[in-house]
Structure 1
């Protein structure tokens, strides 16, 4: 689906997660690359457009417009994989060639997250020890991740904790976003056809 946002065209990718209240939406621009990626509650969209597609919530549209207005100092980062392909088969996940702007600490965390293989997890403490930080600071960087799914913060888990050991996701410990973390981990651990992913 391609939409216009101001004078520039924006390619929107939307995919609904099976048996979940969420859909994953990302926006790309030919000039700026990946602009925004986020999970949206399926019922949060406004009334359908004439062609039957759902409108995006105003906050998501504002984030896209804001990203288009920002000056891009480096080369644009392209979409590392099609989210719909990943939802069909997690082996389609590819790490982005770079991470988005953020604090030096957050960027270190995001780079480590991108090195965790599909089907594997690392604890917040393990990541913290690798970069000389604290587990709490690693969790905060995961919460601030602007590109969920592409930067796999769902692969960071507490050493022991709530929700079967998966911890929170996007700042939530319960609800659709917390539930999707468990779904993503299970999805990555089970290949199409039901066989488990190699450890």
Structure 2
């Protein structure tokens, strides 16, 4: 099994994954919080490429095993475009659920980055001021920092594409 790590700018943890010799994904997650993949899956994009440019993100062709509710939530998350966010309440209304149940499904998401639960925020969150809510069941610590880094990374690139930002020297 070949393991790989990629560092997202501003995150204190590396995103790690491992594939078998046929390039089927076996393991993925944030360093120290990896999860085995229990269904055959080919990566829909290279995590290293995402760390350079989040616009390469595409939704996976399948969802991880879970309850019918979790899978409805995870499918809804894959519909959130890169650089955009939704609240738990918005997702809940869209699928006929409750915000708390959506949060529980986000917490149970075994495929971080592929199923973008980092794009879901509590009502009134202000990611630009360091308030983005919990991530992967934690409300403080390096995983929450990873969520904030993901949101910044995606928002910065979206702003750059919309012509509102030019890197220094251009």
TM-score bracket for the superposition, by shorter chain length = 0.7 to 0.9
**Aligned pair count?**
161
Give 2:135's aligned residue. Answer: 169
Structure 1: runs of 5+ lacking an equivalent: 1-9, 42-58
Match runs of 1:23-38 below 5 Å: 23-29=14-20, 33-38=24-29
Contact 1:36 1:147 in 2 (8 A): no
Contact 2:43 2:60 in 1 (8 A): yes
Structure 2: runs of 5+ lacking an equivalent: 164-170
Please say which structure displays the higher CA radius of gyration. Answer: 1
Aligned equivalent of 1:180, options 146, 150, 153: 146
Give 2:43's aligned residue. Answer: 79
The separation in 1 between residues aligned to 2:10 and 2:55, in whole angstroms, is: 21
**TM-score (normalised: structure 1):** 0.72
Deviation by residue 1:162-192 (Cα, 9 ceiling, x = unmatched)? 7644111011111111111111111001129
Give 2:55's aligned residue. Answer: 91
- Deviation of 1:196 (Å): 5.7
- Deviation of 1:132 (Å): 1.1
Match runs of 1:1-199 below 5 Å: 10-29=1-20, 33-40=24-31, 60=34, 64=36, 76-161=40-125, 164=129, 165-191=131-157, 195=160
The separation in 1 between residues aligned to 2:2 and 2:78, in whole angstroms, is: 24
Task: Please state whether the residue corresponding to 1:80 is helix, strand or coil.
Answer: coil
- Deviation of 1:29 (Å): 2.7
Contact 1:119 1:197 in 2 (8 A): no
The CA RMSD measured in Å over matched residues stands at 2.4
Deviation by residue 1:34-79 (Cα, 9 ceiling, x = unmatched)? 23211015xxxxxxxxxxxxxxxxx85xx54xx5xx6x5xxx3210
